[in-house]
Copies of this chain bind each other. A is one copy, B any other.
Amino acid sequence: MFRPLDEEKVFKDPVHHSIYVQDATIWKLINTPEFQRLRRIRQLGTTYLTFHGAEHSRFSHSLGVYEITRKIINQFERNGYKDWPQGEKMVSLCASLLHDVGHGPFSHAIEQVFDTDHEEWTCAIVLGQTEINRVLREADEQLPQKVASVIRKTYDKPIVVSLVSSQMDADRMDYLLRDAYFTGVNYGTFDLDRILRVLRPHQGRIVVKESGMHAVEDYLMSRYQMYWQIYFHPVTRSSDIILKKIFRRAVELHQSGYRFEFMLGSLKKLLQGELDVEAYLSLDDNAAFTAFGEWAREKDELLSDLCRRFLDRRLYKYVQLEKMDPELVEELRREWVTLGLHPEYHLETDTVVDLPYDLYKPGTEAGASEKPPILLLDDKDQMTEISAKSDIIRSIAGIHRGKYYIYYPEEPLREKADRLKPYTRELLRL
């Protein structure tokens, strides 16, 4: 199934220096329209509005995940580790390269509004009438199904799944390093080379040689810091909120029969909930931005204001609360109405859920529950869950943290500040 290229192809990459493509199938996959489209989807959605360097795309991340996977497997094969199953290299490389191919523009925001799932879209693209599907089948008629089942975590070789999706998979390792590089923070830097060197295939799992425990600690701390400081940054959450409100308003308007001055075919299908693969693939960041630019001139004031805010980065302000207080929120909504503000569009709450619990205690948080723990392998081939040996990891295991915010547009509120209740004024510092 492996068809070596005459000459290996090398991509210059700022994170891994070089990314090596040695197989013709991988090369062809990269050159499909569906994969090239990832150049038009930002890796971190709206984060660039908080950290201006974060303008990188899912294209470079996908290559990075592929490269890490390639290095891991090469190490396994070079050392002849017997627990690494023969013949699983191609499916692993394809799955790691393609795992994000179903992402659309600002995925997380869109998924919440339209209740879609990028993993399902990835499978649809891998299995559908696409160039990717054609290239995979050319290599092996079963390859599309295999890749899709890796994505769905149902592949019958769990070790392949864990390469692409686990507590310390190629995906996470690449995005932490890459997002740290492009944002310019140095929280996300851990010793990738060392981690790759201590990974071992063992009884259907990827485990870590015990001597690599400290490198894993460092990786988990990086992850913790990146989540709280980059991914959960309240300014980014604010731009995500604006974004979701734009889409919500557009759906509302569409459903009420509003006639948009500007519409794209794919967007219309999105609003109608009737997206097919072809339309989905033509949706990208550019389509969204172009629509926002045009909608900024729509006569619906809510929609045009939200679009203008997003493009001009006039985001909602926020205050942090000690805890989420539904009564308070209800009261604010009522107050908003009396001020002529919209109780939903001009107020939003946000609860940022705990992370490090997910780090090491699988099974307790929805979504992370299927991710197995990180296991250490000692020199007697015994496996131990890492928090049993690492003081640091055990310590952060106990951390349960939530942060609670309310978001609101500063400008109309500041004007109306003298009509706000004293409590509200103080709360919002107006």
Contact = CB atoms under 8 A, between A and B. Distances in A.
Nearest to A178: B53
Interface string A22-58: 0000000001110011011000000011011101110
B52 A55 contact: no
Interface stretch (A159-167, A190-198, A410-418): A190-198
Interface string A297-338: 000000000001001111000000000000000000000000
Contacts of A13: 52-53, 184
Interface residues of A, number: 70
A33 to B, nearest CB: 4
Interface string A175-206: 00000011111110111011001000000000
A32 B39 CA distance: 27
Contacts of A63: 52
A2 interface: no
A185 B293 contact: no
Indicate how many identical chains form the complex.
4
B52 A39 contact: yes
A228 B264 CA distance: 40
A60 B52 contact: yes
B53 A55 contact: no
Given A286-B289, A286-B290, A396 B401 contact: no
Given A31-B312, A36-B311, A36-B313, 6 more contacts: A12-B183, A31-B313, A221-B221, A286-B289, A391-B396, A392-B396
16 contacts: A11-B52, A12-B183, A14-B184, A31-B312, A33-B311, A33-B312, A36-B311, A36-B312, A52-B60, A52-B63, A55-B60, A189-B189, A217-B225, A218-B221, A284-B293, A392-B399
